[in-house]
Chains A and B, each alone.
Chain A
Amino acid sequence: MVIHRFVRCVNNSTARQLIFNQCRKHAINRSIFTTPSFWAERLYTDKHEWVEVDGKTGKVGISQYAQEALGDVVYAQLPDVDTVLKQKDECGALESVKAASEVYSPISGKVVEKNTSVEETPSLINSSCYDKGWLFKIELSDTGELKSLMTETQYNEYLKTQEH
């Protein structure tokens, strides 16, 4: 709480980013050691994708915020199984109201499954973005990358900075 208030006071955004990153690292380190269920948690990117890790496999989707921003999804183009992706690679597209929005992979690895239900019924992304509307599963090649992602609490804080 104290930290958040402090962060808000800092107007220089580069400094704010630095402090924010440090806080984030602390928060992640802490949760690794204190929360055994850490891997089942959803982690977020600043581009509004999420990943839920179970062992070596991560399930990827887009956030509620992203789903709302897109509007009705009419077509989902997902990466094929066996595609090797690097973190932040373009790996698909979601089409809504005449706009194709690129999907970026939150982590590096090899695609092991894609959600064919979403290909058939793209509206699942709107109705159930964290559950039935997941996009693809990926076998992680570098679990260290997870440290660069935000926890749900951090992501919610991040969303506040995005609203003007």
Chain B
Amino acid sequence: MALVHRKFVMSAILSRFARAYSTPVQEKDIRKSVFISQSKDIFTNLALEDWLYKNLDFTNHHVLMLWQNDPCVVIGRHQNPWLEANVPALGALTDQGVALARRNSGGGTVFHDQGNLNMTFFTSRNHYNRRYNLEVITRAIFREYGLKLEITPRDDLTLRNCKVSGTAAKLGRPSAYHHCTLLVNTNKVHLSEALQKSDVGIETNATKSTKSKILNLCEENPKIKVPALYKVVGWEYLRTHALSVKDGGMELANQQKGFQMVNPTEKWFPGIEEIRDNLQGWQWRFGKTPKFTISRSFTVPEHLISQDVPDDLKVTMVVEGGKISDVNLYVPPGLVANGFSGNVNVITSLIGHKFSEEALDNLEWSLGALGSDKDKFVTDCVKQVMQSV
């Protein structure tokens, strides 16, 4: 263990020197490794991914990381969790609850559990090639199971026009990675419940997910299991030439660095705990959400309104950096005339609070102190806006 640890630190140091030179890399000089993460925790695995991206030099060394997670929803870097996931329901969906994570790469929201395999392809930015990676996967599946997956123009893998894999990438300098999922026997009920979202009236320019029909590979061939895929995809990767999708057979595979079990702990990867803490923190998961507004209208009950013309109460909330920055109420004239005191202190006190739990707690507390039915109604509407997501 100590040996491996030293090896990682050494290569991290070496990489800094290596980056100073930029001689063109020949395909024959590139060696490949397959890393298998021993963690099933989404935050630890995302931290491992980030650690490798930041610390390894991929100029002459391409790496495929294979990993699995306990049930979780993973949103893209610039997405809105309240728009993409069933946030209030996640905790009770499975015994241990479904975690919500934000990754560093772009793209849309995915659901992971033990029936899903994740693959991360690390290269230098110059050798980043999503098509190459997807072809390696499709060739692996075809070689072992005789099953043909299609690669769509959006770089999804499909079978019978249903999506079996979602893709995303992060491009930096000097390194880049492309990661994708592969649905093998994921719990589809959990998946659809975790991602189920009714129209909650959110407006934003955050990246939106594209909804697709999905399929598990086991529905086509019940023999396909995730543990076997580690080997199937790993070997195919090792026997394929580094820059062109050309089979080099076992001869080439044996020249590679091979498989390595990786234990993503602080001892092996100094600094990984801090990365993990940041990924799990509120600031990254929710605070990073692009600015959005959420609006909803409520019918005012007849006994609260003085005139016959029915009118709606409209609540609009602006959320910046995950915190409420503004609340606007459209109060129908009938409600005002009938004694709504316009006590908006309750509403303005929400500003600056984290959306939505912290703000809800705050509202709950002040709701009890309100005397007037009208004030209670307005406050309750604001509460519902937040509870709906």
Contact = CB atoms under 8 A, between A and B. Distances in A.
Contacts of B107: 98-99
B108 interface: yes
A97 B108 CA distance: 10
A107 B262 CA distance: 38
A44 interface: no
Contacts of B104: 100
B205 A120 contact: yes
Given A75-B206, A75-B290, A98 B169 contact: yes
By secondary structure, the B interface counts as loop
A93 interface: yes
Contacts of A96: 106
A95 B78 contact: yes
B163 interface: no
B368 interface: no
B173 A104 contact: yes
A34 B159 CA distance: 64
Contact of B155 (A17, A95, A98, A119): A98
A77 interface: yes
A57 B171 CA distance: 28
B23 A99 contact: no
Interface in A32-86: 47, 74-75, 77
A75 B78 contact: yes
Contacts of B105: 98-100
By secondary structure, the A interface counts as strand
Interface residues of B, number: 25
Given A14-B23, A75-B205, A95-B78, A100 B170 contact: yes
Contacts of B169: 98-100
A119 to B, nearest CB: 8
A102 B169 CA distance: 11
B205 A99 contact: no
A93 B168 CA distance: 14
Contact of A95 (B23, B24, B106): B106
A20 to B, nearest CB: 12
B263 interface: no
Given A14-B23, A75-B205, A75-B207, A100 B77 contact: yes
Interface in A95-127: 95-102, 104, 119-120, 122
A77 B171 contact: no
Interface core residue of A96, A101, A104, A119 (most chain B CB under 10 Å): A101
B23 A13 contact: yes
A13 B22 CA distance: 8
A77 B106 CA distance: 11
Contacts of A122: 205
Interface in B4-50: 21-24
Given A14-B23, A100-B78, A47 B173 contact: yes
B172 A98 contact: no
Interface in B224-243: none
B154 interface: yes
A101 B23 contact: no
A90 to B, nearest CB: 7
B173 A98 contact: no
Interface in B158-186: 167-173
Contact of A74 (B23, B167, B170, B207): B207
30 contacts: A13-B22, A14-B23, A17-B22, A47-B173, A74-B207, A75-B78, A75-B207, A77-B78, A93-B106, A95-B78, A95-B207, A96-B106, A98-B105, A98-B106, A98-B154, A98-B155, A98-B169, A99-B107, A99-B171, A100-B76, A100-B77, A100-B104, A100-B105, A100-B106, A100-B170, A101-B171, A101-B172, A102-B170, A102-B172, A120-B205
Interface of A: 13-14, 17, 47, 74-75, 77, 90, 93, 95-102, 104, 119-120, 122
Given A102-B172, A104-B173, 15 more contacts: A13-B23, A14-B21, A47-B173, A75-B106, A75-B207, A93-B78, A95-B106, A98-B106, A98-B154, A99-B106, A99-B169, A99-B170, A100-B168, A100-B170, A101-B172
